Amino acid sequence: MWEPEAVKKFNVLVEVTLQPGILDPQGTTIERSLPHLGFDGISGVTVGKAIRFTCEAADEGAARGEVEELCKRFLTNPVIEDATITLERA
Amino acid sequence: MTARVGVILFPGSNCEQDAVEAIRALGGDAEVLWHGDATVGDVDAVVVPGGFAHGDYLRPGAIARFSPVMGAVADFAGSGGPVVGICNGFQVLTEAGLLPGALQKNRGLKFLCTTVDLRVETSRSVLTSGAEVGAVLRVPINHFEGNYTCSSETLAQLRGDDRIVLRYVENPNGSIDDIAGICNEGRNVVGLMPHPERACDVLLGSEDGKPLLRSLLTAAANAKV
């Protein structure tokens, strides 16, 4: 019996972070408040976005290509932001 | 014929009526264009006004650039039509790729709502053709992501091509090279963070926005011919 080519489903996590040198007022404010709350020794706080979705594609390479394009065109502003993509089979 | 200016209304825009009123007070004809229509009609100039288009979700301007009207705005700009993006409108134009660079959050962690001095840096743009180079204008600002940034290559290009239209006399938000407004290569697309439409009546504390919007009306009238 003929079977259609299986479409695979992937769970995707895109983490959007500000590029080095771009101001991060939320990160700065959180870091400044830490000593008041008694948390010492924490530094380098940055705040980004986590965007989760599922993606259907023939294989992991195709899924990654699609998500990279999505990041470039929509989910990030490449002038000031970077994206880190994590993919796993759903 | 009176120059006709289209002011785009996105869900979340909140300065479109200010722009319409200011343009009408200067003798121009103004109409509101809905973002969901894939046309700018027969207008002679386009204003992308301030506000929070699409709630500023994801990033200011990130969703607005995909609104149906934006394709028509890009075509209009591509054929030399005058386009001005004010505040959120500037953010929309950078996201849409009609202007280079991006607007990052203000240095100093604060939303800024105040009036600043702007210096006119060039009269070679649709927004400053009738303004005097070196003139200082008192114009309100009202933004959180108004800190203009771009690559060093882009900055060199903007400087070299005389495309920095307005600079802050005292930089309120940390923008690179004190930039308050820039234009594209064709000089017909201008983006600026300050609000000239809110500085067109003595009752509002300043009339210094008038020479800027008058310049736009002149450009619109010329585009009509």
Residue type at A37 in one-letter notation: L
The structure tokens listed for A62 are 């195709």
Q: B16-23 long-range CB contacts below 8 Å, 24 or more apart?
A: B16/B49, B16/B51, B18/B49, B18/B195, B18/B197, B18/B198, B19/B47, B19/B49, B19/B86, B19/B197, B21/B197, B22/B196, B22/B197, B22/B198, B22/B200, B22/B209, B22/B213, B23/B47, B23/B197, B23/B213, B23/B216, B23/B217
pLDDT of residue B169: 98
Class of domain A8-89: alpha beta
For tokens 């992308």, the residue is: B48
Find the closest chain A residue to B146 by CA distance: A23
Q: Which residues of A touch B149 (CB under 8 A)?
A: 22, 79-80
CATH of the domain at B67: 3.40.50.880
**Domain total in chain B:** 1
Structural domain span for residue B183: 4-100+107-224
Range in A4-8, B171-175, B194-198 the model is least confident about:
A4-8
**Confidence (pLDDT) at B225:** 61
In chain A, residues with a C-beta closer than 8 Å to the C-beta of B107 are: 23
The answer to whether the beta carbons of residues B128 and B174 sit under 8 Å apart is no
Q: So what's the ipTM on this one?
A: 0.86
Half-sphere exposure of B32 (CA within 13 A, CB side): 15
Do B151 and A23 count as a contact with CB atoms less than 8 A apart? no
Place of tokens 């400087």: B159
Task: Write out pLDDT tens, residues B41-88.
Answer: 999 999 999 999 999 999 999 999 999 999 999 999 999 999 999 999
Q: What average pLDDT is seen over chain B?
A: 97
Angle B57-B58-B64 from CA coordinates, rounded to 5° = 65
Question: Which residues of B, range 2-41, sit inside 8 Å of A by Cβ?
Answer: none
| pLDDT band of B109, cuts 50, 70, 90 | confident
**Binning pLDDT at 50, 70 and 90, where does residue B203 land?**
very high
